[in-house]
Amino acid sequence: MRGQLSAEMLVVLVLVLGLAIFLASVMFKSAGQAAGKIEEKTGTVLEAGEKNITKSSSGQYCVEDADCESGYCTASRCE
């Protein structure tokens, strides 16, 4: 009988595999819900941050035209 699987061992194997598959599906569903909530919160934070951004006045550092009150950024300085 060596090397053979008994009926009880097959039942236990099926139960363990079924439990593993069930737990994996629950974890994936839970991770998907968490990702959706994180994305929603991130959007809220970014929107709030954009409202509080101030523009640089003349002579201050800038990267692009949108950074300046005047709308013109030349050589990394607002005009």
Supply the Cα-derived Rg of the chain in whole angstroms. Answer: 29
Predicted confidence at residue 66, as pLDDT, reads 87
Looking at the structure of the chain, the number of domains it has is 1
pLDDT digit string, tens, across residues 15-65: 999 999 999 999 999 999 999 999 999 998 888 877 777 788 889 989 988
**pLDDT > 70? residue 2:** no
Predicted confidence at residue 51, as pLDDT, reads 75
CA distances from 21 to 14, 26, 32 (A): 11, 9, 17
Predicted confidence at residue 3, as pLDDT, reads 67
The domain containing residue 19 runs over which residues? 7-78
Residue 2 located in a structural domain: no
CA distance 43 to 54: 19
Residues 1-7, mean pLDDT to the nearest whole number: 73
Residue 26 located in a structural domain: yes
